[in-house]
Amino acid sequence: MLKMAIFGSGSGTNAQAIINAIEAGKLDAQVACILSDEKEAFILERARKHNIPAFYIDCAPFRTKLDGEAEQQVLDLLEQNGVNLVVLAGFMRIIKSGLLEKYKGQIINIHPSILPSFPGLDAGRQAFEYGVRFTGCTVHFVDEGVDTGAIITQRCVEISQEDTLDSLMKKIHEQEHIAYPEALQWLAEGRIQRENRRIRIIPSEQ
């Protein structure tokens, strides 16, 4: 069974979608713990409401990455909680070599654009201001780059002339909440085959 640690920095709506899928019997996995680099992040409150161990990680002195003593603290927590998959859900820090090496091929992320377009921060705003007609979300493996890992799945949304940035982000989030639990279930079922950057989803036997 997948024993996940979910990392987040904000409200945790993707974490909630994952928890809901598990509780509804649609995702054969367990959330072993939830970690945040923000002490007051609502994702930690979501964890507590569902009796999931919740941990705040003080990442100082680093502002944009998980490194040094904080990274070692995270590695210790993951081992103590029997974690075999790291799920990034709005975690606003760069993952460094210690975690990448320990959990090679076992870290996934969701990004609010159709990668490789609009990597990095504020992807929804980037797409909206650029004027593209379509954007969406991408679930991908994490590697040493920023949003450069092998792509598992993507879902698309149209940007209409009536959209505001807020309405666009709402549409993207709705698709994220479908895509992430679905991709995790594929992992749980052993249906993801990886050959370098190419990902193949084995059809369900059902």
What residues are annotated to the active site? 111
Please return the burial class of 78, using the count of CB atoms within 10 Å of its CB with bins 0-12, 13-18 and 19+.
buried
Tokens of 21: 């899928």
Q: How are strands ordered across the β-sheet holding 54-56?
A: 54-56, 29-36, 2-8, 85-88, 107-111, 134-141, 151-158
Nearest to 87 by CA among 175, 16, 191: 16
Sign of the CA dihedral with 78 first, then 81, 87, and 89 last: negative
